[in-house]
Amino acid sequence: MLRVTWLGHSAVHLGIGERSVLFDPFLTGNPTYPEGALEKLGKIDLICLTHGHEDHIGDTVAIAKRTGAPVVANYEIALYLGSQGVENLEPMNPGGTIEAAGLQVSMTRANHSSSIHENGAARYLGNPCGVVVRNAEESFYHAGDTDLFSDMALIRRLYKPRVGALPIGDRFTMGPRAAAIAQNEFLQMDAVLPIHWGTFPPLSGTPDEFQSEVNRGQVLRPKPGETIEI
């Protein structure tokens, strides 16, 4: 069983076995984040980042320093976080698999960009990615920010995610129709959580549009801060 809590935007808290994983913890400045929701969820064993944009790195530095949880991120993001005083880092890149906090963590490709703004300019922070977290019984895929790509079929073949989170907001990621194709044709997960929608006006894709196109698996539609057991 997995315990999935959407914290608004692309921030997801995952309970997998006895472990808890936090993905892309953009909390401060996230208008869809319910204040205090993360604290109510208890411990954090692992933090996973998909790419370097501010709305995904978010509160990582503060949370990592407070909890001591290891942070899995691409090599460039790990270097950046190290410069900000984060000590427990697990750098990797798409294609790799490591063990962290007693879980298997694999990075996959994603079609997007990855940078942070410093002194009025963009600082490159490596390739964007998706992240798959597994134990002996379960597998969860967080796609990060991405377009549709047919090699999602290989993610299914390699890692067999039963549940996942897919962006649907359009403009900066795939929209509802493309995300539905990802689920229907390539990933075929038992359940999928739509993310990266509704946070800001340019993100026009909606869960209703997504659900109307999905014909395989369950579309999860929790309120921010609500936990669903799957």
* DSSP assignment string, 149-217: -TTHHHHHHHH--SEEEEE---SSS--HHHHHHIIIIII--SEEEEES-SSSTT----HHHHHHH--SS
Question: Quick one: average pLDDT of 114-141?
Answer: 97
- In CATH terms, the superfamily for domain 2-229 is Ribonuclease Z/Hydroxyacylglutathione hydrolase-like (3.60.15.10)
Q: Where are the domains of the chain?
A: 2-229
**Assigned token pair, 225:** 């801060």
Q: What predicted TM-score, i.e. pTM, was given to this entire model?
A: 0.98
pLDDT score for 124: 96
Instruction: Please provide the average confidence, as pLDDT, over all residues in the chain.
Output: 98
Strand, helix or coil for residue 76: helix
Instruction: Indicate the pLDDT class of residue 218, thresholds 50, 70 and 90.
Output: very high
Instruction: Indicate the pLDDT class of residue 206, thresholds 50, 70 and 90.
Output: very high
Question: Quick one: average pLDDT of 9-20?
Answer: 98
Question: Quick one: average pLDDT of 52-61?
Answer: 98
